[in-house]
Structure 1
Amino acid sequence: MATPNLDALKRDGFVVVRNLLTPDEITHYRTIATEATTKTRTGSWPHFRTVPKQFPPWPSTPPPASEGGIWGVQHLMHPDMPGREAFAKCYFSPTILAVAEELMGVKPDTNGDNEPLVMELFNLLVAPETKDFELRWHRDDVPETATAEEEIQQLAAKSPGGRQSHAQYNLALCPDASLIVVPGSHRRARTDAERNAHPYEGNMPDQLVVELQPGDAVFYDSNILHRGVYRHKPASGEETRLTLHGSLGLKADDAGDAEKKKVRATAVLQHGVGAWVYREEAAFGLGERPEKMRANLVAMGTGEGVGFSLQG
């Protein structure tokens, strides 16, 4: 069976899937994403990512627009988020799930007895206000303090053979050239140049800017060496970046590595999704599969005491 997306992910650490959404879907999701962003910018939604902080936990009060404001909206599928039904339809769409299944090497359970996928995160990345914002070079859950030997060990454990236990993606609703990666870096330790580079180095050797058009998605190994560059939106202008940022996980074998389970639980639950996903009103009404995936997330825990993957 041909697996072009998985082949690209193994080789490069990322794969761009073009035209994942139809023109009508792009228009629809852009409208509700703009509404969610406006609600968050004006202080009516309490879950966000704030400039200049890169990793959770984020402040509970957004900084003023003059200081950059927000660069992300969290918890699009929260029971209290307006438009959450439409966001959920996107997240659980057969098109996206099919790509995720290929990348994780699983097939849907046609009998419905053992759902292999775990609902994880669905957030929104947006343009900051008044000031550009940059993320430093990083891997999502391998600390920058790791030695070359530790990097190799951790990368091999987290994505054996180049295949991950989760699929992470950016799905663009506006033209997006924010993600910068170093192809192939997900399979090796950092070079001396990478290890000694400035955290915001703008000309890293072999770096590549991933360019997306509305409806395109990039799925990437979360431990590829990467960073983000977010250009600020024009004052009082339309939103210039609306990118759906999601992840789906692979249900862990009960007999599997406890440390690997803990690492993934931290990566997901550090964002606070465990605080609401178990609620009765968090059900989606979209059939059995989304509920089984939600139940798999509930089984991971509430997030209390798991800590944070990275600092800053």
Structure 2
Amino acid sequence: MSTTPNLDALKRDGFVVVRNLLTPDEITHYRTVATEATTKTRTGSWPHFRTVPKQFPPWPSTPPPASEGGIWGVQHLMHPSMPGRDSFAKCYFSPTILAVAEELMGVTPGSTEEEPLVMELFNLLVAPETKDFELRWHRDDVPETATAEQEVQQLSAKSPGGRQSHAQYNLALCPDASLIVVPGSHRRARTDAERTADAYEPNMPNQLVVELQPGDAVFYDSNILHRGVYRHKPASGEETRLTLHGSLGLKADDADDAEKKKVRATAVLQHGVGAWVHTPEAAFGLGERPEKMRANLVAMGTGEGVGYSLQG
């Protein structure tokens, strides 16, 4: 029996589904809090969001009207001014989630006196209004213009030995079948068929739709070939997609490659978290570990001038 079954699956497939990560009571609670955050954002009371039809940051400062699709995400769930922030922080820093992240990043609990994990991002993915929205096929940190040789080189550098320097996940509060991946594509260059396929190809060879039930999470290599399909919500019905989208990092050693540090800093700080995470109001009051993880993020910088990982 393997002692690292989640890491084994991540290395092999590029993703791993962890079932029942939340209890029924937690699902109900977080769904209520997430619905409130989504409603405030849809009505213009929260200024940080992802808007249709834009896939990557920076996003506009005002949401498009519902008739044009509106929003597909709520940003900065742990911002000091976010209603429900305490609940979101308890979820993000929960021992259950941190334990999975530690396994995937090769961290042995208690193996170091310093805090090895870095607080990164915690956002919410939601159903757009009135019209469906699709993300194109992509890898988060490898541009689509990369040659096959460049892809292999970058993929190897970003997850040596199959481990990443961060753990990224979608945690479903409603039934979710939005994420589509090509298993195994995180360890190789794109095939000719993948390279020449339409950006929104609905039937990529060997693709797999990741199906989650409330409380399930999928942790995935951010450079697996993947995309998202967001079905719009009913005009006056309940929210049909509430998926917590988080990432946690591994603190870089001082001897680590400077370019790797810069790439990860860009991937995280491009979302604007550096603008508020250092403030006194950003303290969580949840004990020592969250504050050490927050300090590790503060050490990455403010985000000034880091640019953006991808365009579009």
Same-fold call, TM > 0.5?
Answer: yes
Q: CA separation in 2, counterparts of 1:214 and 1:86?
A: 17
Q: CA separation in 1, counterparts of 2:118 and 2:125?
A: 22
In structure 1, list runs of 5 or more residues that go unmatched. none
Q: CA deviation at 1:295?
A: 0.0
Identify which range, 115-124 or 101-110, moves more after superposition: 101-110
Deviations 1:220-266 (A, max 9, x none): 00000000000000001100000000000000001110000000000
Q: CA deviation at 1:301?
A: 0.2
State whether residues 108 and 116 of structure 1, in contact with CA within 8 Å, keep that contact through their aligned partners in structure 2.
no
For residue 248 of structure 1, give the secondary structure of its aligned residue in structure 2: strand
Q: CA separation in 2, counterparts of 1:101 and 1:107?
A: 7
Q: CA deviation at 1:108?
A: 3.2
Deviations 1:194-218 (A, max 9, x none): 0000000000000000000000000
Is 1:68 matched with 2:69? yes
Deviations 1:96-116 (A, max 9, x none): 0000000000023377x4000
**Aligned residue in 2 for 1:108:** 109
Q: CA separation in 1, counterparts of 2:94 and 2:223?
A: 25
Q: CA separation in 2, counterparts of 1:22 and 1:81?
A: 24
State whether residues 109 and 116 of structure 1, in contact with CA within 8 Å, keep that contact through their aligned partners in structure 2.
no
Q: CA separation in 2, counterparts of 1:25 and 1:34?
A: 14
State whether residues 127 and 240 of structure 1, in contact with CA within 8 Å, keep that contact through their aligned partners in structure 2.
yes
**Aligned residue in 2 for 1:89:** 90
- Aligned-residue CA RMSD (Å): 0.7
1:4-83 residue pairs with structure 2 within 5 A? 4-83=5-84
**Aligned residue in 1 for 2:234:** 234
State whether residues 33 and 242 of structure 1, in contact with CA within 8 Å, keep that contact through their aligned partners in structure 2.
yes
**Aligned residue in 1 for 2:196:** 196
In structure 2, list runs of 5 or more residues that go unmatched. none
For residue 204 of structure 1, give the secondary structure of its aligned residue in structure 2: coil
Q: CA separation in 2, counterparts of 1:81 and 1:157?
A: 36
Q: CA separation in 2, counterparts of 1:69 and 1:204?
A: 28
Q: CA separation in 2, counterparts of 1:119 and 1:86?
A: 16
Deviations 1:62-102 (A, max 9, x none): 00000000000000000000110010000000000000000
Is 1:253 matched with 2:253? yes
**Identical pairs, percent:** 92
Q: CA separation in 1, counterparts of 2:131 and 2:99?
A: 38
| TM-score, normalising length: structure 2 | 0.99
Deviations 1:118-141 (A, max 9, x none): 000000000000000000000001
Q: CA deviation at 1:274?
A: 0.2
Q: CA separation in 2, counterparts of 1:237 and 1:46?
A: 23
Q: CA deviation at 1:161?
A: 1.3
State whether residues 109 and 115 of structure 1, in contact with CA within 8 Å, keep that contact through their aligned partners in structure 2.
no
Number of residue-to-residue matches in the alignment: 310
State whether residues 118 and 293 of structure 1, in contact with CA within 8 Å, keep that contact through their aligned partners in structure 2.
yes
